[in-house]
Amino acid sequence: MKKKVFAKAIRNHIILLAVGAIAGLILLVLVHLLPIEPMREHVYWSMDMIEREFDNEILIDGYRSTLTGNFTDCLMLEHAVYSSEEHSLLEQVLHMYRGESCPPETVGQAGWWPGQSLKDYLTGVPQPREVSYSRYWHGYLVLLKPLLLLTSFNTIRLLQSAVQLILAGCVVMALCRKGAYPLAKAFLLSLPFLFFVSTYASLSLSICFYVMTAAALIQLKADGLLARRGWYGLFFMAVGMATVYFDFLTYPLVTLVYPLGIYLYFHGGTPGKGIRGMVGNSAEWGIGYGGMWAAKWILADCLTGSASIRDAMETVFVRTGSAEGYSRINGFFNVLGKNLQPYLNWCYLLIGTMFAVLLLAAAAKKKTGAIMRKLPSAAAYFLLALYPFAWLFLTQNHSEQHWQYTCRILAAGVFAAASGCWTLLQNDSPNITQN
């Protein structure tokens, strides 16, 4: 009997991964059939704004973590409007070619100059080379291309500010409707740590926020169904797949920790049950994330005879290596310091102080015994709060070089820790499945 259940689970995972990879490829092929010329015109209309951010892509001066993400956004925009008669449609989809200009000081080398490259391509300036970026899925193009067909990058930014605010509000309302008030408060507290004030200005740094909020809303709507059918593992796997399909490896862990916090609230039960569920669903998310990424490399190699797998694996080994010039342990503390740096200012000191005051005021109204009885329910949250630190330890090279946006992963730790604190002070048991 156990063998049949295990075999069925393996089959379902393989089917979900295969369907996801094939569907993802088909969607990218379809959007590449859309007319490119209107997209080019709409991007060109925004070039004045884009060019002003070539050298200064910080929304608030002095705070590097308020990036507009112009560097990566220019890559995304050029991928959206690039075409070449030298490559078939399938080759373009799987390898994501684009023209690349060279900074004067790196002529003949592999220097990156995405902003100028985008401008040169749009204005017809000859570019010395063509490069590919095949190790990512570039699933964002499924939405970006249709949007650029209709409007400019300026308008997309304005639209993002509205959509992100609405999504955040919807998550808070959905949590409150389910009675998960500790999580609703923790979610609001964590938004500043996501640098929500600047996320709307960046295409690349918005992706994980969209995946996280969409996953949370689906989960809150379908929680009873997922629990009854035993589909929670497949749900987390699908979230991991969606993350790697759309994202550029910015701050992907938030798409795991926030849904896990919601899962623990309704299905944590005893500490042992909560931790087992947390570990199991984390593994499912990892299978989806790693499996979907590997599927892209396999498709590229099998359908076009490229070397995407080798290139991707070399990059994985580099990005998961220790921080440059450090041992693994010392490198971790160096990376941690860099990623904590954006929060070492009066803004977050005041936010932390207000949270502590509210927490102490609520604790003063509770008896010590009542708080201690809730400690088992909150324990899993405090363990979940350590996830961002584990991520930074495992991805030291990447997190050191890109701390300006990988620091947002720490917002997930704030959400988990705050959820645990408020769970301690909640009157009723939080671990009740609500259908």
What mean pLDDT comes out for the span 348-367? 88
Residue type, 23: A
Average pLDDT, the chain: 89
How much is the pLDDT for 305? 77
pLDDT tens readout for residues 69-124: 788 999 999 999 999 888 999 999 999 999 998 776 555 445 678 889 999 999 99
Percent of all residues in the chain with a pLDDT value above 90, rounded to a whole number? 64
Q: Which helix (H) or strand (E) holds 241?
A: helix 232-246
* Burial degree of 229 (CB within 10 A; 0-12, 13-18, 19+): exposed
* Burial degree of 10 (CB within 10 A; 0-12, 13-18, 19+): exposed
Gap between the Cα atoms of 326 and 334, Å rounded: 8
What mean pLDDT comes out for the span 62-66? 79
Question: Which of these, 262, 188, 211, lies nearest to 232 by C-alpha position?
Answer: 262
- Kind of pairing between the strands at 97-100 and 129-132: antiparallel
Gap between the Cα atoms of 194 and 175, Å rounded: 19
Gap between the Cα atoms of 138 and 140, Å rounded: 5
Which residues are registered as beta bridge partners of 426? none
Residue type, 169: G
How much is the pLDDT for 245? 98
Q: Which helix (H) or strand (E) holds 423?
A: helix 410-424
pLDDT tens readout for residues 370-420: 777 777 778 899 999 999 999 999 999 889 988 999 999 999 999 999 999
How much is the pLDDT for 144? 97
How much is the pLDDT for 110? 52
How much is the pLDDT for 412? 97
What mean pLDDT comes out for the span 32-38? 96
SS3 state at 131: strand
* C-alpha neighbours within 13 Å on the C-beta side of residue 182: 27
Instruction: Please give the distance of CA 154 from its chain centroid, rounded to a whole number.
Output: 23
Q: pLDDT grade, residue 1 (50/70/90)?
A: low
| pLDDT of 336 above 80 | yes
pTM of the full structure: 0.92
How much is the pLDDT for 268? 82
| Per-residue tokens: 382 | 């405090």
SS3 state at 102: coil
- Give buried/exposed letters for 271-281 (b at 16+ CB in 10 A, else e): eeebbebbeeb
How much is the pLDDT for 432? 47
- Going by the DSSP 8-state scheme, the letter that residue 97 receives in this structure is E
Instruction: Give the residue with greater pLDDT, 212 vs 376.
Output: 212
| pLDDT of 157 above 50 | yes
Which residues are registered as beta bridge partners of 67? 58
